[in-house]
Amino acid sequence: MSDDSWPSPAHSSGAVTTAEYEQKFAPVLPEGIVGLHSDTAAVYGDSSGRQVKVRANRWGMVRGFEWYSGTVDFTVAIAANSSGSTRIDRIVLRIDRGDNFKVRVAVRQGTAGAGLPALVQNVGSSYLNSGTYEIALAHVTVVNGASSISASDVVYVAPLIQSNNSGQPLGIIGGNKWVGSGLLAGGTAYFSTNQATGVSTPVINFRAGRRYRLEWSFEASYSQTNNHIVGLSTEFRKSPSGTVIGTHRIPAFETVQAWTLKAEMFYEPSADESTALSLHGQYLYHSGSGTFNWVGINKSAGNTFFVVHDIGAAAGITSA
C-alpha cells in the first residue's frame, strides 16, 4: 500500500472519517474542561444520595472531540460499597469509539482498599474504531456502607482548558501539546523555599512516561534596602510543602527592587499523577560586608503566569 494523506480530494474523494479526525487532532489539542480558574467544580457531591452531580453548561474536550454537559445538572450513580474497606472511584470523561465516538461522563470504579483505579486510554493503530479513552474529572471516596456522597468526598482534578484570553496562550504552544496554563491571582503572596508557603496552580494531570516542560513568570520585589541581589532561585513543588520537582537558579546583578522573573524546568513523572504545583522562590543578596543571605521573594501585586506542555516521551531528564 502506498502512503496517503488527508484531508485531500485524492483521499476518499475528500471525505474524512471520524477515526481519521481523531488521528489528526488528538495529538495536538488539549484535554480537559473548558473554563476559568474561578469556575466552580464541574463535578461535585452534595449528600443528596450515593451519587455525584455534573454541573450544567460545561464544555470539555477528549481526543479532539467536544463534550457538553447540557442545560441542567445531572447525577451519576456511585455503586454501593459493602466490602468493609474504603473504595476510591474516578469520575471520568470517556470517549467510546465503539459507540459512535460518543463522549460521556462515566465512573471508573475502584477496588476497595486498593487506591485509585487506572485510567483506560486505548490508543494506537489497534484502536482506530474501537476501545475507549478517558481523562479524570474527580476522585470519589466511597466509605464502607456509604449511603450518600458529600462535598468532602469528591476531589475535583479535571485539567483546565483556559477559555479567556488575558495574555495567556491557548491550545498549542510551540508545536507541543499544552496540558494546562493559568494566570494566578495578583496580590502580595510571600513564597520561599524555606517555608511551607507558595503560589499554587490548579490540579494538573501528569502521565507516566511523558516529559513535561513547566514555564512560569512573575513580577516580584524585595525589601533589602541598600543591598544587592546576586542570585535568584525558584522551584516547583507538588504541594506547598511537598516533593521538589525541579529548581531553577540564575545569577542576577540587580540593585533595583522589582523585576519580572521567567524560567522553565522539565518533569518526567514515574507514575500517573493528579497534583497541584506550588511555585516558590528566593533571592541571594549581600550587604557589601561579605555576608550572603537567601531570603524569600515577596511577590508583587502583579500576576503569576504558568504553562505546562507535554513535549513527548520521557527522556531521562527531570529538571533544568
In a domain, 252, yes or no: yes
β 59-62/189-191 pair status: unpaired
Does residue 290 sit within a domain?
Answer: yes
**pTM beyond 0.75:** no
What is the structure's pLDDT at 147?
Answer: 97
Which of 108, 127, 158 terminates a domain? The answer is 158
| 57 and 141 part of one domain | yes
Residues 21 and 134 in one domain: yes
Angle at 138 between CA 178 and CA 145, to 5 degrees: 165
> Which stretches does DSSP call E strand in the chain?
32-35, 43-44, 51-54, 59-62, 65-68, 74-77, 87-96, 102-108, 132-142, 154-156, 160-162, 177-184, 189-191, 199-206, 210-221, 228-237, 244-254, 258-267, 273-286, 292-313
Q: What total of structural domains would you count in the chain?
A: 2
Q: Are strands 160-162 and 154-156 parallel, antiparallel or unpaired?
A: unpaired
Structural domain harbouring 77 = 16-158
Question: For position 196, what pLDDT does the model report?
Answer: 45
| Residue that is last in its domain, among 142, 158, 174 | 158
**What is the pLDDT averaged over residues 265-273?**
80
Least confident of 74-83, 100-109, 152-161, 164-173: 164-173
Give pLDDT, residue 268.
83
Q: Is residue 10 part of a domain?
A: no
Mean pLDDT of the chain: 75
Cα end-to-end distance, the chain, whole Å: 44
**Which of 45-54, 178-187, 219-228 shows the lowest mean pLDDT across its residues?**
178-187
Can you give the pLDDT at residue 76? 98
Domain-embedded: residue 284: yes
Note the Cα 198 to chain centre separation in Å. Answer: 17
- Let me know whether 95 and 44 are in one domain: yes
Confidence of residue 276 (pLDDT cuts 50, 70, 90): confident
Q: What mean pLDDT do residues 127-133 have?
A: 92
206 in the same domain as 306: yes
How do residues 171-197 score in pLDDT, each as one tens digit?
333 333 444 444 444 333 334 444 445
